[in-house]
Amino acid sequence: DGGITQSPKYLFRKEGQNVTLSCEQNLNHDAMYWYRQDPGQGLRLIYYSQIVNDFQKGDIAEGYSVSREKKESFPLTVTSAQKNPTAFYLCASKIQGANGYTFGSGTRLTVV
Amino acid sequence: GIQVEQSPPDLILQEGANSTLRCNFSDSVNNLQWFHQNPWGQLINLFYIPSGTKQNGRLSATTVATERYSLLYISSSQTTDSGVYFCAVDGFGNEKLTFGTGTRLTIIP
């Protein structure tokens, strides 16, 4: 079955450590996205990539970094510069110019 | 960027009742989707509906693009309908999905 896989589902890290969240898709989608969700709130865009080896900042990119070396993969690194990293992170993808976004099941990050 | 507003923010209904959720957006949209977020956080795509009307079982949606709003109807609500419903849009030449703040629906048995 085609889809988006995010791993791990739950992640605990100590304050000050960098952590990388995985997002892999086998849908042959061109564009991939990372969103952050805080409790009781909507989703906010962190970074997005429309083609391999290119990506753009979203609305809340500070403290995060990404790479897009392969079409299938768009990992997100939460750096120590991110002031409040504890949140639910969702990855999405779509075919460029076509309709509808597909979301992964999310990674819940807790920094202690 | 496009602004998305959803109403009401919270809705509590008895099982079997009908409900209408509203999404207003500030500019022309290329894409509009309704999602249901389940208790585990998974976003379930309900409708892709930048214009027109669609139905899927007890759920239906209508988007009036010229007036910049969309409605999600849930009929004969069940407890499994509980959760948060999000409307999300992107604009022409701007393929970034912007979310509303959601409507939290609680269905009481």
Q: What is the pLDDT of residue A97?
A: 66
Contact residues on chain B for A90, CB-CB shorter than 8 A: 41, 43
Amino acid code (one letter) for B72 = L
The residue-averaged pLDDT of B67-90 equals: 96
Contact residues on chain A for B100, CB-CB shorter than 8 A: 42
Closest partner CB to B96 (pick from A41, A48, A106): A48
Q: How many helices (H) and strands (E) does chain B have?
A: 0, 11
The residue-averaged pLDDT of B74-100 equals: 92
Spans of chain A, pLDDT less than 50: none
Kindly determine whether residue A33 and residue B43, on different chains, have CB atoms separated by under 8 Å: no
List the 49-78 stretch of B: residues with Cβ below 8 A of A. 50
The pLDDT-based confidence of B43 (bands split at 50, 70, 90) is very high
Kindly determine whether residue B96 and residue A58, on different chains, have CB atoms separated by under 8 Å: yes
Kindly determine whether residue A100 and residue B88, on different chains, have CB atoms separated by under 8 Å: no
Kindly determine whether residue A88 and residue B41, on different chains, have CB atoms separated by under 8 Å: yes
Q: What is the pLDDT of residue A67?
A: 98
Is residue B94 scored above 90 in pLDDT?
no
Complete DSSP assignment for A11-51: EEE-TT--EEEEEEE-S--SEEEEEEE-TTS-EEEEEEEEE
Determine the 3-state secondary structure of B98 from DSSP. strand
Q: What is the largest CA-CA distance in chain B?
A: 45
Is residue B64 scored above 90 in pLDDT?
yes
Q: What is the pLDDT of residue A40?
A: 84
Q: What is the pLDDT of residue A1?
A: 60
Is residue B109 scored above 80 in pLDDT?
yes
Residue B93 has φ and ψ, to the nearest 5°, of: 70, 15
Quick check: A61 contacting B, CB < 8 Å? no
